[in-house]
Structure 1
Amino acid sequence: MNDLIPIVNKLQDVFNTIGSDTVDLPQIIVVGSQSSGKSSVLENIVQRDFLPRGNGIVTRRPLVLQLVNVHDSEDEKAEEFGEFLHAANRKFVDFSEIRREIENETARVAGQNKGISRSPIHLKIYSPNVLNLTLVDLPGLTKIPVGDQPTDIEKQTRSLILDYITKPNSIILAVSPANVDLVNSESLKLAKQVDPEGKRTIGVLTKLDLMDAGTNALEILTGRVLPLKLGFIGVVNRSQQDIVGNKPMSEALKAETDFFRHHLAYRSIASRCGTPFLAKTLNNILMNHIRERLPDMKARINSLISQTQQELLSYGDPTLDGKSSRGALILRLLTKFSNDFISSIDGTMIDISTKELCGGARIYYIFNNVYGAALESISPCSNLSVQDIRTAIRNSTGPRPSLFVPEIAFDLLVKPQIRLLESPSLRCVELVYEELMKICHNCGSQELGRYPRLHAKLLEVVSDLLRERLTPTSTYVESLISIQRAYINTNHPDFIGGGGAISDLVKKNEKKRKEYEKLKKTNVNAGNSLHHANGSLTDGQDHPLSSESLKESSGSRDLSIPNGGNNSRDSFLTYFFGSGSKADRIVLPDQPAPTRNGSFSKSAIDIGELERKLDNGAIIDEAVHLTEREEMETQLIRSLITSYFNIIRKSIQDLVPKAVMHLLVNHSRESVQNRLVEELYKEELFTELLQEDENLASERQKCKTMLEVYRKAFEIMNEAM
């Protein structure tokens, strides 16, 4: 039992080397408000003046105080001295120097403005007059900032105290002045907040000699007012006059003993009061507490050893003996990186994501969703107006009037439409390239993260490989579009052809004619919107409607079939594509028709206006309505362009993904490992590539130090059990 507190002190010393709070060590936390007398209690226990004194807050950093009992030897008296953790090589024999060192170290860290710091001061005192104890003196609780103290000094102090007393292995030494009502004790309020049942709180009443005459604290000391499992102990500290007069500590302790022995209220419990009894009680409480908590502490440290070993393994072994071992490591990392790259494309990764698309699945999405939608969004005749078609037809005939729709016009119009497929196709290549770059950057194990230079080189080599493949892939895709534009194959089995286009045109116009007849019949029978007036039709508003205007309103034209043949399809073929003799080919008039009186309209004979348009380059007048022939030609050309464009679009949608997979994706995945080995597996690069990340090396060293500390602590605890 007597060795338990020194063992905890050893553990404290061991953990101080790493500044770790991972293990909650049993210790006594001294809590009290300013001027409650807690500093005097500590000095009485040590039997030395060593703590700073003054007005306002004096203790501004936690003071971890280890008291070590040393025995006098046969030859000489045991020496009293102190040691600080921050000045390990210096022995403080003069306790006034200990006080100055505490003041200087406090000012160094916490500053001169009476603010507090969480960084503790570690002091170990060796003396034959003390019992083995571990005490932590904390800043006194304060309500109002004094001088240049921070405005939130109370909040800072409470937070610091709670950090210490919340730990379950801490014993709370709550110091309260007896001349103040106990219900106002700030230390007991905080203790009750974290220890509501009072199982690990011991109360200390100071200033019993300063209570009003006729009053005493016997009820409190006997546990009748506030029950605490560890009870209350009364002490009498030196007065301010005793401190100023340097009254010896031995005389002060004797005066304290006499006070309790001769006081009418306290003499019955005098043996359970005073500083010597307090020190002995704290020693017993701490030893019993350590004995109870030791198994849990040992299990905690054993768990920390296992966790730290696993963490250390994750950082890898830094020792690489010889070039062969370094070469093997680099080769293994290169192979792992290339396998991860390939597996990500193929979708065979072990830790594949279930939350979002990744790797090869994103490439598939580009081909089938992004690229497919982009092609479908292109209209076969987009950016192709009626006037564009009309102009192309006229230009392709030269100075001669056309007998039928010229094939040159179709070629001239369809080629620019095919080029519209080039931009989304090239964008498809770029998107796949970007996805491969993302896959490359997402590859890399934790072990590879140890070597940032090697990782950077891996990314650089693979990026170069992908960039090399980007240009030929894009060039080939461009050539696919150029090939389609180079030869317009009107003999393609899926192409609608002239006959099919004519047939569709006839069907559409026949449908419109039927709709017109139906509309005409409905309007005449209803008599609501159209009625007979003066032998003509009106629209219900006395506006005459001719038969021709009705045709226009129904969106159709009355198409006359040349040659009056029975087979309308053959007649159209004969007219448009000259599948008969020249004598059978009838040229529809392009000139404006004369009016009823035989004269021409003004616009038709305004020669000066036509010459001005010729000079200005505006040969095609958009204001002029299409003739019947021009409208049929336009519809026919649009039908042919749509049919051929759809064929090419379908072909391109199939060929481009295949080209991208062959020239970019598959080539990269098949070449990546050979390229990495070729570029990086060189002896002269081994040293550079295997330079570890400085932060990682530092973390590994820190982890190794912690592991050594935990193992040493475990050995110390094994000695105690």
Structure 2
Amino acid sequence: MMNDLIPLVNKLQDVFSTIGSDTVDLPQIIVVGSQSSGKSSVLENIVQRDFLPRGNGIVTRRPLVLQLINIQNTEEEYGEFLHAPDQKFTDFGEIRREIETETARVAGQNKGISRSPINLKIYSPNVLNLTLVDLPGLTKIPIGDQPTDIEKQTRSLIYEYISKPNSIILAVSPANVDLVNSESLKLAKQVDPEGKRTIGVLTKLDLMDAGTNALEILTGRVVPLKLGFIGVVNRSQQDIVGNKPMVEALKAEAEFFKHHPAYKNIASRCGTPFLAKTLNNILMNHIRERLPDMKTRINSLITQTSQELLSYGDPTLEGKSNRGALVLKLLTKFANDFVSSIDGTASDISTKELCGGARIYYIFNNVFGAALDSIAPCGNLTTQDIRTAIRNSTGPRPFLFVPEIAFDLLVKPQIRLLEPPSLRCVELVYEELLKICHGCGSPELSRYPRLQARLLEVVSDLLREQQGPTSSYVESLISIQRAYINTNHPDFIGGGGAISDLVKKNEKKRREFEKLNRRANNFSNSSIHASVNGINKDEIHDGSSISDKESSGTRDMISLQNGMNSSSWAQRESFLTYFFGSGNKTDRTILPDQPVPSRNGNFSRDIEDLDKLENMSLNEDTLHLTEREEMETQLIRSLITSYFNIVRKTIQDIVPKAIMHLLVNHSRESVQNRLVSELYKEELFADLLQEDENLASERQKCKTMLDVYRKAFEVINEAM
């Protein structure tokens, strides 16, 4: 079984390479080293053949997945590429050229690198079973036409491979360079800080300075690695140029370790043959440890992929005889989803935002309600508008009472203000139903884009058909309210109620005015008395001692007192007598403009407050109205406000009901029948059930992956 483990991984690697997937982390040896570290020479020594491209700069620009397969009872050696499965390469020079050609084809000619691997199998009686991945050499400075970020690209690619837990890191470092500066060991330590899956290879031991050696490194006293360090001696550049046979090179390597004073005691644990044998054992043991986890992982992938494939549907079960049943099933599912979204019974209700029926409720109670509440009953009516309406409604005759026709003329335009928000409410609900419709697609339905488009089209037509009558009906509701002004409505304040309210308001203002008036009178008497007592007889005899300012102030206060005592406010008739009189009352008396000082310095402000109190709820232009006209406008405003609030309350109640009946409920009750009548036709089945091309492609890809996982599982089962 142990001898079959590496071929097993090779088979798995071939299987997964057909789909370009790395979802399963396969055990393999990753070769890492900087440029000119001797990495390529190590691989060629293991294979005992010259087959890798050579040159300046980065030569390996794509990962090379190298599978070494030992074959017995034959002298034949050859290579095979996964991208050329029908071609056998017996000339290793051709293998080198094929690697160069395939690299340029994918990675280009500009010395850039690519993550797409090249898979090469080498069959030979001179190799041990191994799976190695040769990666681009680490470089610091771009040379020639190399990309400026070549170092970043290379490190990223290497890190991607060595970070996988099932990989063994073969870190190649030259012995004639301080090991502290070894880039391969630095990278390996980042992903394997304890050194459990890193094996070190020291090259160029024969090029070290005289009197120095790497014995302490090879014996693990400098950098501790669980898998240790192995020293090798590669061919020199002169040997490569002179085509020195690989057999002679390996003999020379063995002689070097056998006779070197520092390495002769560990010669059996150095050299390329020992390295290949060690790697073979390490890889087999590693595969044996990881095999159960790999089997579990592949089994899990089979389950996941099978479920995914089921979600794409099986076209073999959708024959001509089954098309009708499938279409009916999808129509019913769509209609049920539409209804459940409105009712709030859908299984996938959003928890992030309001949707469906809840959104419609929000439109009725929050959006529509707030829009109606924001409309002021008399917001766009000026006092001049009201006065003009009253005058126009009486014609050439004088009037004794406020004409009722003026109220009708003024309240009807105000009721029309309720129409725009009501129609907007219909639009918002219609838009929400469209949104619900577009959200009813299921994964199964998405397989058939034409059917899905027709479903949306039919339901949209249904909603559009209902929107018009609903809007018309809502308009008629406003027109109905304007058609007959029911002043006998039990909640309407009426003329008597409006007059009573005005009397109460004016009585309150009168009491406030009298209160301030008494304060003014009291202040005037006390102030004059204090002024007279404060002047001695000599000063009275000699009036020149009194300042003009004091004299003027005293006269003003006396005048104010007399003016207030004779004010028309004290002689006014009661409101009802006055209001229903002949209408010849004169304008109200205006208080003096002069500010009067008070004992506490705030009397002028008291007078201003009094003036504001008199003109409460009146606009600027009311200052020129007669008292009768002021009362008339206030009465009309009170009546309009009362009746408008009644109509607004009615509209706020009846419009949502109309929308629910004519638009929402009609749509949810009719959607199933409409879909069936429009789309359940045999001549449409073939067109409606045409699959999405991308989805069909994804299904085929998923099916291929499932076949690969099942085949990999069989391979593992056979080995176990």
TM-score (norm 1): 0.88
Deviation at 1:321, TM superposition (A): 3.9
Distance 1:487 1:134, change over 3 A: same
Look up the match of 1:601: none
Q: 2:290 aligns with which of 286, 289, 293?
A: 293
Moved more, 361-370 or 468-477: 361-370
Distance 1:548 1:103, change over 3 A: farther
Q: Work out whether 1:212 is the aligned partner of 2:228.
A: no
What are the within-5 Å matches in structure 2 for residues 626-645 of structure 1? 626-645=625-644
Q: Mark the runs of 5 or more structure 2 residues left unpaired by the alignment.
A: 533-550, 591-619
Using the alignment, how far apart are the partners of 2:165 and 2:242 within structure 1? 41
Distance 1:537 1:513, change over 3 A: farther
What are the within-5 Å matches in structure 2 for residues 420-431 of structure 1? 420-431=417-428
Look up the match of 1:656: 655
Distance 1:464 1:558, change over 3 A: farther
Question: 1:57 is matched by which residue type in structure 2?
Answer: I
Q: Provide, for residues 564-601 of structure 1, a one-character-per-residue CA deviation record: whole Å limited to 9, x for no partner.
A: xxxx76x57xx65xxxxxxxxx4222788999xxxxxx
Question: 2:30 is paired with a residue of what secondary structure?
Answer: strand
What are the within-5 Å matches in structure 2 for residues 698-709 of structure 1? 698-709=697-708
Q: 2:228 aligns with which of 231, 240, 248?
A: 231
Distance 1:485 1:288, change over 3 A: same
Deviation at 1:544, TM superposition (A): 5.0
Q: Is the 8 A contact 1:530 1:537 kept in 2?
A: no
Using the alignment, how far apart are the partners of 1:539 and 1:290 within structure 2? 118
Q: 1:560 aligns with which of 563, 573, 583?
A: 573
Question: 1:2 is paired with a residue of what secondary structure?
Answer: helix
Q: Work out whether 1:458 is the aligned partner of 2:455.
A: yes
Distance 1:525 1:234, change over 3 A: same
Using the alignment, how far apart are the partners of 2:499 and 2:91 within structure 1? 118
Q: Is the 8 A contact 1:496 1:640 kept in 2?
A: yes
Question: 1:275 is matched by which residue type in structure 2?
Answer: T
Q: Is the 8 A contact 2:33 2:137 kept in 1?
A: yes
Look up the match of 1:277: 274
Deviation at 1:219, TM superposition (A): 2.1
Deviation at 1:322, TM superposition (A): 3.4
Q: Is the 8 A contact 2:528 2:557 kept in 1?
A: no
Q: Is the 8 A contact 1:509 1:557 kept in 2?
A: no
Question: 2:673 is matched by which residue type in structure 1?
Answer: N
What are the within-5 Å matches in structure 2 for residues 261-660 of structure 1? 261-526=258-523, 544-545=559-560, 560-561=573-574, 571=577, 576=580, 586-589=581-584, 625-660=624-659
Q: Provide, for residues 625-646 of structure 1, a one-character-per-residue CA deviation record: whole Å limited to 9, x for no partner.
A: 2122222211221111112111
Using the alignment, how far apart are the partners of 1:547 and 1:346 within structure 2? 77
Q: Provide, for residues 442-474 of structure 1, a one-character-per-residue CA deviation record: whole Å limited to 9, x for no partner.
A: 112221122111111111111111111111111
Question: 2:372 is paired with a residue of what secondary structure?
Answer: helix
Look up the match of 1:694: 693
Using the alignment, how far apart are the partners of 2:679 and 2:449 within structure 1? 14
Deviation at 1:126, TM superposition (A): 0.8
Q: Is the 8 A contact 2:174 2:205 kept in 1?
A: yes
Using the alignment, how far apart are the partners of 1:594 and 1:160 within structure 2? 97
Question: 2:123 is paired with a residue of what secondary structure?
Answer: strand
Question: 1:283 is paired with a residue of what secondary structure?
Answer: helix
Q: Mark the runs of 5 or more structure 1 residues left unpaired by the alignment.
A: 562-567, 577-585, 596-620
Using the alignment, how far apart are the partners of 2:178 and 2:17 within structure 1? 39
Distance 1:393 1:559, change over 3 A: farther
Q: Work out whether 1:63 is the aligned partner of 2:64.
A: yes
Distance 1:415 1:539, change over 3 A: farther
Using the alignment, how far apart are the partners of 1:541 and 1:316 within structure 2? 101
Deviation at 1:624, TM superposition (A): 8.2
Q: Is the 8 A contact 1:524 1:531 kept in 2?
A: no
Question: 1:122 is paired with a residue of what secondary structure?
Answer: strand
Q: Work out whether 1:198 is the aligned partner of 2:195.
A: yes
Look up the match of 1:680: 679
Look up the match of 2:547: none
Distance 1:503 1:34, change over 3 A: same
Deviation at 1:529, TM superposition (A): 12
Q: Provide, for residues 535-566 of structure 1, a one-character-per-residue CA deviation record: whole Å limited to 9, x for no partner.
A: x998997695478889999xx997524xxxxx
Q: Is the 8 A contact 2:37 2:203 kept in 1?
A: yes
Q: Is the 8 A contact 2:137 2:154 kept in 1?
A: yes
Question: 1:633 is matched by which residue type in structure 2?
Answer: E
Q: Provide, for residues 508-528 of structure 1, a one-character-per-residue CA deviation record: whole Å limited to 9, x for no partner.
A: 211111111112123333559
Q: 1:89 aligns with which of 81, 86, 89?
A: 86
Look up the match of 1:24: 25
Look up the match of 1:9: 10
Question: 2:283 is matched by which residue type in structure 1?
Answer: L
Question: 1:81 is matched by which residue type in structure 2?
Answer: Y
Deviation at 1:70, TM superposition (A): 1.1
Question: 1:397 is paired with a residue of what secondary structure?
Answer: coil
Look up the match of 1:50: 51
Distance 1:384 1:656, change over 3 A: same
Using the alignment, how far apart are the partners of 2:276 and 2:409 within structure 1? 108
Q: Is the 8 A contact 2:386 2:633 kept in 1?
A: yes
* Percent identity between the two aligned chains: 82
Question: 1:199 is paired with a residue of what secondary structure?
Answer: coil
Using the alignment, how far apart are the partners of 1:552 and 1:83 within structure 2? 122
Using the alignment, how far apart are the partners of 1:400 and 1:406 within structure 2? 12
Using the alignment, how far apart are the partners of 2:562 and 2:328 within structure 1? 88
Distance 1:537 1:498, change over 3 A: farther
Question: 1:588 is matched by which residue type in structure 2?
Answer: G
Q: Is the 8 A contact 1:537 1:545 kept in 2?
A: no
Look up the match of 1:711: 710
Using the alignment, how far apart are the partners of 1:530 and 1:413 within structure 2? 52
Distance 1:436 1:543, change over 3 A: farther
Q: Provide, for residues 298-346 of structure 1, a one-character-per-residue CA deviation record: whole Å limited to 9, x for no partner.
A: 1111111111112112222222443341111111111111111111111
TM-score (norm 2): 0.88
Look up the match of 1:600: none
Using the alignment, how far apart are the partners of 2:109 and 2:316 within structure 1? 48
Using the alignment, how far apart are the partners of 1:455 and 1:172 within structure 2? 53
Q: 1:241 aligns with which of 235, 238, 243?
A: 238
Q: Provide, for residues 336-369 of structure 1, a one-character-per-residue CA deviation record: whole Å limited to 9, x for no partner.
A: 1111111111112222233322211111111111
Q: Work out whether 1:186 is the aligned partner of 2:183.
A: yes
Question: 1:426 is paired with a residue of what secondary structure?
Answer: helix
Q: Is the 8 A contact 2:68 2:129 kept in 1?
A: yes
Q: CA RMSD in A?
A: 2.7
Q: Is the 8 A contact 1:538 1:545 kept in 2?
A: no
Question: 1:634 is paired with a residue of what secondary structure?
Answer: helix
Question: 1:472 is matched by which residue type in structure 2?
Answer: P
Using the alignment, how far apart are the partners of 1:9 and 1:557 within structure 2? 116
Deviation at 1:64, TM superposition (A): 0.5
Distance 1:208 1:387, change over 3 A: same
Deviation at 1:233, TM superposition (A): 1.4
What are the within-5 Å matches in structure 2 for residues 153-168 of structure 1? 153-168=150-165
Deviation at 1:530, TM superposition (A): 8.6
Equivalent pairs counted in the alignment come to 671
Q: Is the 8 A contact 2:528 2:558 kept in 1?
A: no
Question: 2:45 is matched by which residue type in structure 1?
Answer: N
Using the alignment, how far apart are the partners of 1:458 and 1:433 within structure 2? 17
Q: Is the 8 A contact 1:537 1:544 kept in 2?
A: no
Distance 1:112 1:448, change over 3 A: same
